[in-house]
Amino acid sequence: MSTFSVLAAKESQEIIRTWRVWVLPAIVMFFAVIGPPLAKITPELLGSLTANTPGSLGLPEATFGDAYGQWIKNLSQIVLFAIIIIYGGVVSTEIREGTAGFILTKPVSRTTFVSAKAAVHAGFITVVFALGTFTTWVSTQVTFAVAPSAQLWGAAFLLLLYGILAFAYTFAFSVLIPAPAGASGAGLGIYVLLAVGAAWDPLATYGPAGVPAIAAAVATGQEHVSPAWPAVTTLLAAAAAIGAAVLIFDRKELRP
């Protein structure tokens, strides 16, 4: 068995033994289950609240597109916040506790250590997104009796790439910044910069900043720019962040 496989197995066991295995899936599944029913009853609730208001207009009946749009909104906001907060200490905690230094006393390269950790957690996020999207699709089918799969899965895939990017730069900050809160804060800062950057058309059309809006348009069946460039640049940015994490970790002083 290769060193990478051993470290990946160790990291997988750490996920199972810690609170990460519960928190992120719990958040994702909560919104996946309640999203479609909530989308269906929201117009009715708002309509009942404004029924006696003079000049009030009736709200259109909810459709599967409303459920899909809500799911993508939750992924791009609350779930991404959770990823950034959860992974702020994914490397710095092991450095502080001496676990990383102890592992590296074995015949393990620093590059392999970082790469295995990043790959396992990226895979974990992918599985969680897939389970949540499948649950949303089932819940939407039950609630609205119609749930086209292509729109939902296409949008969710784009948001998965965005989620991997959020994980990647938070991972890099976790290597660079000793305090988990500091790494998470820096990660949230990048998130805000991307959100602001989406107002600039070149970034929205060709860069990662445009992914949330394009995903929302795909989910609701609206016209949108091609997702090809944003998807490619998001992957490249995530790879660059992991590469930066490897370089920083390679030069970092560790204690056994």
Half-sphere exposure of residue 134, counting CA atoms within 13 Å on the CB side? Answer: 7
Mean pLDDT confidence for 199-205: 91
- Tokens 């720019």, residue located: 225
**Helix ranges, 50-91 (H):** 64-74, 80-86
Share of the chain above pLDDT 70, in %: 93
- Copy the structure tokens of residue 56: 């009030």
Whole-angstrom distance, CA of residue 29 vs CA of residue 254? 38
Whole-angstrom distance, CA of residue 201 vs CA of residue 44? 37
* pLDDT at 107 (0 to 100): 84
Q: What is the pTM (predicted TM-score) of this model? A: 0.92
| 85-115 pLDDT tens trace | 999 999 998 888 888 888 888 888 999 999 9
- Copy the structure tokens of residue 15: 């996920």
Whole-angstrom distance, CA of residue 73 vs CA of residue 213? 9
For residue 55, what pLDDT band results from cuts at 50, 70 and 90? very low
* pLDDT at 118 (0 to 100): 96
Q: For the chain, give the mean pLDDT.
A: 90
